[in-house]
Amino acid sequence: MKRFITFVLLICMITGLAACGSVNAESSSDSGSDAISAVESQSEAESEAEETGAVEEESSGEDSGSASSGGKLLVAYFSCTGTTEQIARWIIDETGADSYEIVAEDPYTEEDLAYYTGGRADQEQADDSARPAISGSVEDIGQYDVIFLGYPIWHGQAPRIISTFLESYDFSDVTIIPFCTSHSSGIGSSAENLHDLCSDTVTWMEGRRFSGDAAESDVVEWIDSLDLPESEVRSVSEFDFETKTVLLNSGYEMPIMGLGTYSLSDEECAVSIAALLEAGGRLIDTAYMYGNEAAVGQAVRDSDVSREEIFVITKLYPNQFDHAAEAIDEALEKMGLDYIDMILLHHPGDGDVEAYLALEQAVADGKVHSIGLSNWYVEELEEFLPQVNITPALVQNEIHPYYQENDVIPYIQSLGIVVQGWYPLGGRGHTAELLGDETISAIAEAHEVSSAQVILRWNLQKSVVVIPGSSDPDHIRENLDLFGFELTDEEMEQINELDRNEKHDWY
């Protein structure tokens, strides 16, 4: 989110340009955050306030009591340079809230955000009636009782896109907790001026301003002072079988089952992804080496499902590690997407640490939301993790009843990293044997489901995300139908006993 080349833009990064993106209840969205940065023309008074660490904090509303009524939490934020997004991520980590990144339908450019140039942001802030359009929406806004609302300070106020957001939903009886990011000015009247956009039944709690150098401890201290309900706190890496998602350590939610596109041709990709999305699936896995990234991107763009609801994973192959930054841009261009939900390193190789650091920069630039690894095991992780800054959100390995990784999965999960299994049905040349296994077939018969459904459900109950590959729409629909039955402890153990430590691919 901080991708600038001039001195003016570097200052913008410090003060925080607001970004755009959206997450939740499904994953996704562009980067972002902090206020239109003050450029060289910023007033001397503001500069002095920043240098002395002056922070203004004022009540953001008439009601400043605690949000103790219970219910689900949502962090909704608008961001452009990463500062507001970082604060939002820390709130999400601390509270387990869902997240929604407010993304402009017409993304802001660096020129749009330059202060005092008469550009788009200047014009919008000077026009009380300006309402920039938002891409995507929050699903079932009524499920949230408490909403953290984050934004950068632009000309002393919240960006007009925040007004668009507040006027797009009914927030009756909801508690809203504003927070802002700013180079020097406090939250001031920015939150109070939003009150008239909502019902009188909204409870506005006291807002908080965070500077560009705020620490996670500052956010945690503030959260602790709010007396938030604990009943709805969701743990990172915890599977939610109701929403069919898992909360990643990056703050984004990811579906726990989807579609693998390995070996699918462009035409097969289009048909398969259409079937997946029609059946309610939202997770798609591809890779540079699959040769179908462009087809995946086309299928996503052609779908009636909003981009924010779809979670796309791709991977960099080792032959891309020495030019990882360019490879990331190539993937974005090939897919025709504004952002990629997750990029993994396909497997260990020369330059993998440097390639991962490039992924970290892509996160900072808003090009990628979450990053991770594929085909990394205990020894590889122990060597790799101390050399990087961002803990992987996901590790994707071969996992099926004949190769269970029962020593690896708990280790990865203990680090707060989600595990995803490829070849969940055994892989090419082995699927028929696995689906015909007597133990699995007997369990399937008992539940009146297919062997494939039993294996996929076994994975889910081990908190392993599944991405079975298929070009058959009927099989794709069946592979998503995993929540009408539950395996018993005895059945889980019976499948566990099938482990042969039999790997079906060389990774």
pTM: predicted TM-score of the whole model, two decimal places: 0.60
Query: Tokens standing for 177?
Result: 């907790």
> pLDDT tens digits for 56-75?
223 233 333 333 334 589 99
Query: Tokens standing for 299?
Result: 């299928």
pLDDT at 53: 30
Question: Rounded to whole angstroms, how far apart are CA atoms 82 and 2?
Answer: 6
Burial of 388 (0-12, 13-18, 19+ CB in 10 A): middle
Question: Rounded to whole angstroms, how far apart are CA atoms 52 and 46?
Answer: 10
Question: Rounded to whole angstroms, how far apart are CA atoms 287 and 311?
Answer: 14
Q: Which residue is associated with the tokens 């009408």?
A: 484
**H and E: helices and strands count for the chain:** 18, 19
* DSSP assignments along 59-110, one per residue: --SS------S--EEEEEE--SSSHHHHHHHHHHHHH--EEEE-EESSPPPH
Residue 127 neighbours by CB distance under 10 Å: 10
Of residues 331, 366, 342, the one with CA closest to residue 21: 366
Per-residue pLDDT of the chain (507 residues; tens, 9 = 90+): 222 222 223 333 333 333 333 333 333 333 333 333 333 333 333 333 333 232 222 323 333 333 333 458 999 999 988 899 999 999 998 888 899 999 999 999 999 999 899 999 999 999 999 999 999 899 888 889 999 999 999 988 999 999 999 999 999 989 999 999 986 655 667 888 899 999 889 999 988 999 888 899 999 999 989 877 554 456 788 899 999 999 999 989 999 999 999 999 999 999 999 999 999 999 999 999 999 999 999 999 999 999 999 999 999 999 999 999 999 999 999 999 999 999 999 999 999 999 999 999 999 999 999 999 999 999 999 999 999 999 999 999 999 999 999 999 999 999 999 999 999 999 989 999 999 999 999 999 999 999 999 999 999 999 999 999 999 999 999 999 999 999 999 999 999 999 999 999 887
Beta strands in 244-319 (DSSP E): 245-247, 253-255, 259-260, 283-285, 311-316
Of residues 43, 77, 239, the one with CA closest to residue 152: 77
- Catalytic positions: 290
Q: Are 158 and 185 spatial neighbours (Cβ–Cβ below 8 Å)? A: no
pLDDT at 329: 98
pLDDT at 202: 93
pLDDT at 1: 28
